Amino acid sequence: MRSRGSMLITCVAVLILGPVLALANGFYSPTVGPRASAMGGAFIGLADDYSAVYWNPAGITQIKGMELTATGQDVVSLASRDGYVRYYGDTEERYALVSLGATSETTNRIAPGVFFFSDAGPLRSVFDKVGVAAYTLTEYGSKWNADDVLNGADFVNHEPTHDFTGKYLDGDMQDYESRIKTYVFSPVFAKEVVPGLSVGLTANIGYSHFTVSDVYMETRVDTVEMPAADDDYYLYLHPVQLTDDVAGWGYGATVGVLYRASRQVSAGVVFRSPMTISYDGVYRSVSSDEGEAEYRSDFEIKYPMLVGGGFAYRDFLFDGLTMTGDVQWTGWSSIDRIDRNIVWGVWGGGWTEEERAEFETTEFNWEDTVEVGVGFDYRLGRSVSLNMGYRNSPSPVGDDSYYNFVFPQSSKDVVAAGVSYRQDFWRAAFAIEYHTGAERIIRETEDMNGKHIDDLLIPSLSFTYAF
């Protein structure tokens, strides 16, 4: 049976993995803009609308006049798990395997954004185009009904479970839930330095908020003497609710170059600097018999740099069809450890004399990742365009690394499609993405055994008005 110490280590691992992976390849990082999303995120070499602020800031030189854009996405988790949980009784030899089958609840996680661009005006001698954007970089998580996860589960027909004639849940159990939100405020500047060659720069000011609610199940065994029968053993499950809640700020920059070699062909490269976010918050434990305890913690995460390149070929195969392709490399191997300061104590109107500080280190063994995407844009006349794309997004976390279904992580294959409609002074776009998560089979653990799948369905839309 896991100790309270190992329980806390588990939650610390979830806390640290959550915000890091939320920006990782293989986790959900919103592809900013429905058109770029529908084209599989292969937009570095095209970057011809407001979403260039994220993909390649040099591309905003292609925007004419002033533009104001509002966007929104809805991230729907379609995760599931099917397996068993191992609960130890009063000895290592006496344990129960409890069957488990659950799907995540359908929740709406809205990711808004606002973008504004204008000619440089008095800064014309330095820049051709300037702008400002406030958008959602990450909006992800899952929610699981506690009754579906464990409360209604049955014993697996496994020999050691024959010692137990029943199981009881002692105390209320709340839902399992996680949520990571990261917002970015970005001023952006770009200039066409020579005909066809543009350079752009974006400053990224990020705010990240992460919460996760997990349940640790303490166990005990009671013996009931039955007349004219052998003793019956009952497995009691006592839930302890664990919640992490931290937030932090970070700063970085993006530099992009776009070269339009001809009317048909363009290519771009982008460099996104590392961003260090300083998190601070609380870790909370709640149980029916011990009450509530709250601890303070803080740590820093240095998100790694990204280097990407892409191309766009207009009138590919036939008039009106544009093909794009992207490759992005992320240096996740540079994150070798995270140091966390923890202040332990008892919460009760203030920190007591029991408070003390500790320094905890979490080691990582992650790999660099390479994402590949391809997209198509087909213009049907003057007003309507159809889009489609595919993206392969591997996870930096190997199959033998830590896993928690509350905040699942896996490699993704992404397929997407969308439509754009434009008039003289406005345009609208809609896209839908389906992220197919690679199936993960977990074995030889206490509570994560079985098959895990975490798919995502993400609709998005935008409206742009040109002044």
- Give the per-residue SS3 of 20-80: HHCCCECECCCCCCHHHHHCCCCCCCCCCCCCHHHHCHHHHHHCCCCEEEEEEEECEEEEE
Cα–Cα distance measured from residue 351 to residue 461, given in angstroms and rounded to the nearest whole number: 47
From the list 159, 204, 162, 166, the residue with the least C-alpha distance to 186 is 204
From the list 186, 217, 184, the residue with the least C-alpha distance to 202 is 186
> What pLDDT does residue 4 have?
47
Query: What angle (nearest 5°) sits at the alpha carbon of residue 167, between those of residues 162 and 169?
Result: 160
239 forms beta bridges with: 217
> What pLDDT does residue 49 have?
94
> What pLDDT does residue 2 have?
40
> What pLDDT does residue 354 have?
47
Place of tokens 């995460």: 301
408 forms beta bridges with: none
Q: Tokens for 15?
A: 């806390």
Local mean pLDDT, 10-residue blocks, the chain (467 residues): 46 54 49 91 95 96 95 88 78 73 82 94 90 89 78 57 67 78 94 96 92 80 53 74 88 96 96 90 80 81 90 94 96 80 58 52 80 96 94 80 71 94 94 91 77 89 95
Contact 44, 91 (CB under 8 A): no
Cα–Cα distance measured from residue 17 to residue 219, given in angstroms and rounded to the nearest whole number: 27
Secondary structure letter of residue 226 according to DSSP? -
Query: What angle (nearest 5°) sits at the alpha carbon of residue 217, between those of residues 215 and 222?
Result: 155
> What pLDDT does residue 195 have?
94
> What pLDDT does residue 315 have?
93
Contact 246, 218 (CB under 8 A): no
Cα–Cα distance measured from residue 310 to residue 322, given in angstroms and rounded to the nearest whole number: 13
b/e code 90-117 from CB counts within 10 Å (16+ = b): beeebbbbbbbebbbeeeebebebebbb
> What pLDDT does residue 216 have?
79
- 232-260 and 164-169 beta bridge pairing: parallel
From the list 234, 99, 237, 97, the residue with the least C-alpha distance to 159 is 97
- Tell me which H or E stretch contains 274: none
> What pLDDT does residue 348 have?
44
- Residue 255 has, within 13 A of its CA and on its CB side, a CA count of 4
> What pLDDT does residue 408 have?
67
State the distance between the two ends of the chain, measured CA to CA, in whole angstroms. Answer: 65
State the pTM of this model.
0.86
Kindly report the length of the chain: 467
Burial group, residue 121, by CB count within 10 angstroms (0-12, 13-18, 19+) = exposed
Backbone angles phi and psi of 332, in degrees to 5? -70, -20
From the list 306, 415, 383, 384, the residue with the least C-alpha distance to 37 is 415
Q: What domains, with CATH codes, occur in the chain?
A: 4-85+99-144+181-207+246-466 (2.40.160.60)
Cα–Cα distance measured from residue 422 to residue 331, given in angstroms and rounded to the nearest whole number: 39
